[in-house]
Amino acid sequence: MEGNRHSRTHDHHHDHGPGPAGPEHRHGSARLARTRHWFAPLAQPHAHEAGDKVDTAMEASREGMRTLWISLAVLGLTAVAQAVIVVLSGSVALLGDTLHNAADALTAVPLGIAFLLGRRAATRRYTYGYGRAEDLAGVLIVVTIAASAALTAWVAADRLFHPRDITQLWAVAGAALAGFAGNEWVARYRIRTGRRIGSAALVADGLHARADGFTSLAVLLGAGGAALGVRAADPVIGLLITVAILLVLKDAAREVCRRLMDGVDPALVDAAERALRGVAGVLDTGQVRMRWIGHGLRAEADIVVAARLTVVQAHELAVAAEHALIHAVPRLTAATIHTDPAPAEGRDPHAAPAHHGGRPRPPSR
């Protein structure tokens, strides 16, 4: 029983068909297996449902892609509206904001690629799949936000030392307001979806859109200051908006860095431990670890069981513990359960691998 492990993905299923037959049956099975391999990313069954909860990585990817397409359409319309006003007013500030919004909207491209990569099945090289592509996209988004802050600061400083008059102020103000409204709507939409599906990169992209909205707001407030005859209003507000973008950068960087460092909400670990202790036959829990891969969670847990159990009984208990975890922890896609016998006096079940560092101590609370 020692070292007995049980691992199974959240969206697994069992296909109990008839036993092997002749060559024709085997060739048909091979073709069916190849067909399933190619079309698996398009339709994954879900074997564990808690009430109305349907949490699969595929559905989360589809929702993420839908959010990206809709938000790109909104940002595209916003950029077109701003471009029209640029042509009518000749505003250099609004031109810069329009180009800024259009370019930054393209950060959705690497995130969309990451969502598509995340649908690919695990391979012998990438045994955990391609979910980490989202973290790479998140890093790129953080870098883009930092570049946005630098660009805004540079433009504001240049405008402070080289003041320029703004014409067609009402049109410029209207276009800037549209830019702010469009970016803020996209920001709320992306952040809400990202938190629902567990995508740190999509949350960071939403914060990026919010930073773009602040840039548009700077143009709006600068136009208002110019209307009052204060030429320095535009660059000063631009510098203040740079500070606001840096605050957004801090939040986005923290979100992405935590994901890169395998950080999870401690409340999820607490919920997992409570669920495991609630399983009949589990005497105690050992180490419980979790990590995000893409927008799905994977867990590894040690449970203590009675030493008299057979291997089959310990396996059944591990299955029950995994099932309890799947229902207790949102977005859990896979769990590996390790069963330990209750320690006997003077006997350490992990004495052999201990000097190799193979059994790390449970994390401190």
**pLDDT 10s digits, 54-113:** 344 556 777 888 888 888 888 888 888 888 887 777 666 676 677 667 766 677 788 788
Q: What is the mean pLDDT of residues 342-357?
A: 62
CATH pick for 266-354 out of 3.40.50.920, 3.30.465.10, 3.30.70.1350, 3.90.180.10: 3.30.70.1350
- Comparing 141 with 4, the larger pLDDT belongs to 141
Would the pTM count as exceeding 0.85?
no
pLDDT band, very low/low/confident/very high, at 7 (cuts 50, 70, 90) = low
Q: Which amino acid is at 334?
A: A
Q: Which pLDDT score, from 0 to 100, does residue 57 have?
A: 52
* Beta carbons within 10 angstroms of residue 12's beta carbon: 14
Q: Which pLDDT score, from 0 to 100, does residue 165 have?
A: 67
HSE (CB half, 13 Å, CA atoms) of 53? 17
User: Where in the chain are all domains bearing CATH 1.20.1510?
Assistant: 57-260
- Comparing 13 with 143, the larger pLDDT belongs to 143
Alpha helices by DSSP H, 6-132: 23-39, 57-89, 92-105, 108-118
Closest CA to 227 of 158, 166, 160: 166
Q: Which amino acid is at 277?
A: R
252-310 pLDDT tens trace: 899 889 989 999 999 999 999 999 999 999 999 999 999 988 878 999 999 999 999 99
Is the CATH code 1.20.1510 the one for domain 57-260? yes
155-194 pLDDT tens trace: 778 877 877 666 677 888 888 888 888 889 989 999 998 8
pLDDT band, very low/low/confident/very high, at 232 (cuts 50, 70, 90) = confident
